[in-house]
C-alpha cells in the first residue's frame, strides 16, 4: 500500500507527497474530504464484481473513501508496514485485534503494565468467551507462561504509566518459538522512536489520537501489518463490526501529519530537560523516563529506540502522602489534569501502580507528566513552585 513512483525515501519526505489517487486533473497540496455512506457503482456488473479484500475498490462508506485510504497508506508507510486499518479510537484498534485473533479456548499473554482498558478488554474476553489470560512481567522474559493454546502475545513498550521498556526482539523470538502472533501497542513510539514491524512483530497498533492528530480533538486508532492474510483476518472483523472512521477526522490527522515529527522531536528535547531537572529535586525519588540511565529498561530503549515521547512518570518521596501529591498536581498552573496526551498542552495526573505491577519497587506516589509545546523553562518554573508546596 506504500506510495510509489516518487524519488523520496525518507518517511518525512514521503509523508508530504500529495498522493492523488483519482483520475482527476485537479492538483493541490491539500487533501480533499471525500465523504460517503452510499458508494455508487457504474453498473450491475461492477456491483457484482466488488471484492471487499481489494483495497483499490470502494463499495460502502464504512470500508473507506479516498480520504481514509490516503491516511491509511501514510500510516502504513510510517510504520514500515504494508496494510493499515483505521478505527474510531486507539482502544477500538486494541479490542478489534484481540477479537479478530482469539477464540474460545485460546490463550493470550499481556504485560502487567499494559494500558488499563486493554487489560480490562482481555478480562472481558476471558469471562465472556473463555479465552485464557495470563500476565507477564515486562522486564522479565522468563515470566512468560506460554501454553499450547497461546495464540497472541501482547506487548506495550514502554508500558503505560510505569514506562518500563520491554525487550521486543526477545519477546518476538519467544512468541515465534511458541507459534504465537505478537501485537504491539506502539503509541508512545508513534512510528518515530521505534517501529515494531522492523523489530519482528506481526502487528503494530497505535492511538493516532495522540501525536499524529496533535490537537487533543480527534480519536483514532490504527492496526498495521505486513502479512496480507493476517491483514485480511483483521479486515474481516473490521468490516463485520462496522468500525470505520470519519473522513473528516482522517482529514484532521492528515493536516497534522506533516509536522508531527517536528512536534515529537521538540517535545522530546523539552521532556528530557525537564526529566533531568526533576531528578535533582529533593521531593522526587525517581524519574521514569526511558532516556534516563536510571530508568527501568533504559539499556533496551538505547538499543531499540531512536527518540522518546514526551510522556513519563515521576515517583515522589515515600513520606509524601497522597493528599499532598494531589495538592501538588492541583498547584500546577501550566499542566492540565486530563488523560489523553499527544496534544500541544502539558498534562499531569496522579496514578496508582502498586496494585497493578506485582513487583513494583517504588514506595512513593506516582505522577504521570506529559510535556506539551509550552516553553521548557516556564514548565520547569511551574513544577518548581508546585514542588515547593510539598516541602511546606
Ligand atoms: C498507550 C495507549 N494505547 C492506547 C490508547 C487508547 O487510545 P484512544 O484514547 O484513542 O482510545 C491510549 C490512550 O491514552 C494509550 O495511552
Helix extents (H) in 311-359: 322-331
C-alpha distances in Å from residue 369, one per residue of 208, 209, 239, 342, 380: 19, 17, 37, 11, 12
The response to whether residue 206 sits with its C-beta less than 6 Å from ligand 1 reads no
pLDDT(207) > 60: yes
β strands within the chain, DSSP E: 83-87, 107-111, 132-136, 150-156, 181-185, 203-207, 221-225, 284-288, 311-316, 347-351, 366-370
pLDDT(221) > 50: yes
Which atom of ligand 1 is least distant from the CA of 156?
1
Beta bridge partners of 313: 288, 368
Over the stretch 347-371, which tens digit does the pLDDT of each residue have? 999 998 877 888 899 999 999 999 9
What is the best residue among 340, 341, 351 to mutate for testing ligand 1's pocket, by most ligand atoms within 8 Å of CB? 340
* Residue identifier of the C-alpha nearest atom 6 of ligand 1: 90
For the chain, percent of residues with pLDDT exceeding 90: 87
**CA neighbours closer than 13 Å in the CB half-sphere of residue 129:** 18
The response to whether residue 340 sits with its C-beta less than 6 Å from ligand 1 reads yes
pLDDT for residue 23: 66
CATH of domain 260-391: 3.90.1150.10
| CA of 38 relative to ligand 1 center, distance in Å | 31
Read off the pLDDT of each residue in 320-337 and give the average, rounded to a whole number.
Answer: 97
Decide which of 7 and 241 is more confident.
241
Read off the pLDDT of each residue in 297-323 and give the average, rounded to a whole number.
Answer: 97
Which atom of ligand 1 is least distant from the CA of 160?
1
**What is the domain partition of the chain in residue ranges?**
260-391
pLDDT for residue 58: 94
For 377, list phi and psi in degrees, rounded to 5.
Answer: -65, -35
The response to whether residue 309 sits with its C-beta less than 6 Å from ligand 1 reads no
pLDDT band at 1 (very low <50, low <70, confident <90, very high): very low
The response to whether residue 185 sits with its C-beta less than 6 Å from ligand 1 reads yes
Amino acid at each position: 500500500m506504500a506510495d510509489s513512483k516518487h524519488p523520496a525515501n525518507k518517511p518525512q519526505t514521503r509523508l508530504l507527497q500529495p498522493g492523488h489517487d483519482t483520475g482527476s486533473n485537479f492538483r493541490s497540496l491539500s487533501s480533499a474530504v471525500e465523504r460517503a455512506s452510499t458508494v455508487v457503482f457504474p453498473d450491475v456488473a461492477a456491483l457484482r464484481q466488488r471484492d471487499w479484500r481489494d483495497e483499490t475498490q470502494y463499495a460502502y462508506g464504512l470500508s473507506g473513501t479516498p480520504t481514509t485510504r490516503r491516511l491509511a497508506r501514510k500510516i502504513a508507510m510510517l510504520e514500515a508496514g504494508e496494510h493499515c486499518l483505521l478505527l474510531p479510537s486507539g482502544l477500538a484498534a486494541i479490542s478489534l485485534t484481540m477479537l479478530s485473533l482469539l477464540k474460545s479456548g485460546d490463550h493470550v499473554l499481556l504485560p502487567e503494565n499494559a494500558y488499563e482498558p486493554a487489560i480490562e478488554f482481555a478480562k472481558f474476553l476471558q469471562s465472556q468467551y473463555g479465552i485464557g489470560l495470563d500476565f507477564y512481567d515486562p522486564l522479565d522474559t522468563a515470566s512468560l507462561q506460554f501454553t499450547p493454546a497461546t495464540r497472541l502475545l501482547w506487548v506495550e513498550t514502554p508500558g503505560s504509566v510505569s514506562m518500563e521498556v520491554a525487550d521486543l526482539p526477545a519477546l518476538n523470538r519467544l512468541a515465534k518459538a511458541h507459534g504465537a502472533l505478537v501485537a504491539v501497542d506502539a503509541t508512545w513510539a508513534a512510528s518515530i522512536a521505534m517501529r515494531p514491524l522492523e523489530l519482528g512483530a506481526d502487528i503494530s497498533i497505535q492511538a493516532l489520537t495522540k501525536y499524529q492528530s496533535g490537537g487533543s480533538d480527534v480519536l483514532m486508532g490504527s492496526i498495521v501489518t505486513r502479512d496480507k492474510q493476517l491483514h485480511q483476518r483483521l479486515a474481516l472483523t473490521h468490516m463485520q463490526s462496522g468500525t470505520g472512521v470519519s473522513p473528516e477526522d482522517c482529514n484532521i490527522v492528515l493536516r497534522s501529519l506533516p509536522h508531527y515529527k517536528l512536534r515529537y522531536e521538540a517535545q522530546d528535547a523539552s521532556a528530557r530537560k525537564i526529566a533531568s531537572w526533576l531528578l535533582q529535586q529533593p521531593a522526587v525519588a525517581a524519574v521514569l523516563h526511558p532516556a534516563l540511565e536510571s530508568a527501568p529498561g533504559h539499556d533496551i530503549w538505547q538499543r531499540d529506540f531512536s527518540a522518546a515521547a514526551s510522556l513519563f512518570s515521576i515517583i515522589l518521596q515515600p513520606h509524601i502522602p497522597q493528599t499532598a501529591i494531589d495538592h501538588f498536581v492541583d498547584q500546577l498552573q501550566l499542566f492540565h489534569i486530563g488523560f489523553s496526551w499527544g496534544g500541544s498542552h502539558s498534562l499531569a495526573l496522579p496514578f496508582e501502580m502498586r496494585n497493578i505491577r506485582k513487583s513494583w519497587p517504588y514506595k512513593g506516589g506516582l505522577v504521570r507528566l506529559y510535556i506539551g509545546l509550552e516553553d521548557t523553562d516556564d514548565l520547569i518554573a511551574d513544577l518548581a513552585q508546585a514542588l515547593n508546596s510539598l516541602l511546606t
